[in-house]
Amino acid sequence: MNLELSEEQAAAKQLAADFTDREIVPYAADWDRAESVDRAIIGKLGKVGFLGLTIPEEYGGSGGDHLAYCLVLEELGRGDSSVRGIVSVSLGLVAKSVNSYGSEQQKRHWLPRLTSGEALGCFALTEPGTGSDAANLTTRAVRDGEDWLITGAKMFITNGTWAEVALVFARTGGPGHQGITAFLVPTATPGLERREIHGKLGLRGQATAELTFDAVRVPDSTRLGAEGKGFSVAMAALAKGRMSVAAGCVGIAQACLDAAVGYAKEREQFGKPIASYQLVQELISDISVDLDAARLLTWRVADHIDRGLPFATESSVAKLYASEAAVRAANNALQVFGGYGFIDEYPVGKYLRDARVMTLYEGTSQIHKLLIGRSLTGVNAF
């Protein structure tokens, strides 16, 4: 086992750190208050190659392995989880799915646009009535000659109002996961309406939306993968996507550690820096231990993917641990800051709000415990 980064991986990490410190950190608080990041960040992410990581260069990607991808997402998550989410969804869930399951025509059409930042993608799986129970979605696609008519609604869709293409999962057959098909739907298609969701607890800078489909007509050429195999496309995307979320949570925890250490060394009480008090050091050391454990679990997933090994359970472990660790880290950092942590002049309140949603999306902590338990026992729990 060698945990030393290669030259390429170290360079990717440094590039992402410099980008984050220059293009994200100075603006994150303002974006949070405005409930929108500056859309110019998308072109900048594309120009530096972050929207094309692991995608072959022949399709406009920047190549690289999955550990380099995780290193970049750690840094973006350190700066602003809303920006990290843009990359995780458009690249991690949509572009990678097109690369894995798309026809040559679909790859040539969508991948250069997605990797450059010319277009964004969104992942339209969750519905108003189906979150964890994704196999029972109700959005339906019905054949009409050589076309499909899609009707239904999707909820909590990241990039939803900004995306040029939605990877939509709809029921084309009977009940259960075998009746679901995936489609690449241009968001300008007539009948597709989008409404941005405001007033979120965290990830406030991210464009989160509700999508409604009123007999949206798309040709069969928009189908991604085989008919009835859409659930497999979704689950494969989410298995890697959970690694992306875990990497972003590592970034949040790193930001919490940096902020807590810096503040503890500057803030004085009873005539000396609070860093000299044992219980403050306990808060900081707990963040550090959680950070290291989450990072190593996440890197393990990337290593398994790059070596062609099974990784779904490892991805659930990493996502479960890292998301809960990020919440603990943010809570501890806020405690170090005391009352100042409770106002948005300082960043730790935002870290806590952003971290909290990580335990909910791309599989709740409870769902991941069931997935891990099923992997260990071979028994489905209810």
Active site residues: 362
Q: Which residues lie across from 63 on neighbouring strands?
A: 53
CA distance 212 to 125: 12
**Is 95 strand, coil or helix?**
helix
For 222, the token pair is 């928009």
For 331, the token pair is 């809570």
Angle at 77 between CA 201 and CA 259, to 5 degrees: 85
From residue 311, alpha-carbon distances to 159, 288, 330 in Å are 26, 26, 28
Cβ neighbours for 202, distance < 8 A, ≥ 6 positions apart? 81, 350, 353, 354, 355, 356, 357
Contact 274, 347 (CB under 8 A): no
370 burial type by CB count under 10 A (0-12 exposed, 13-18 middle, 19+ buried): middle
**Is 117 strand, coil or helix?**
coil
Neighbours of 184 (CB within 10 A): 23
Contact 295, 354 (CB under 8 A): no
CA distance 162 to 28: 19
CA distance 12 to 5: 10
CA distance 234 to 282: 41
For 120, the token pair is 């964004």
Task: Write b or e for each residue in 337-347: b if 16 or more Cβ atoms lie within 10 A of its Cβ, otherwise e.
Answer: beeebeeeebb
From residue 237, alpha-carbon distances to 102, 125, 199 in Å are 13, 11, 28
Look at the block and give the residue holding tokens 């991948």: 111
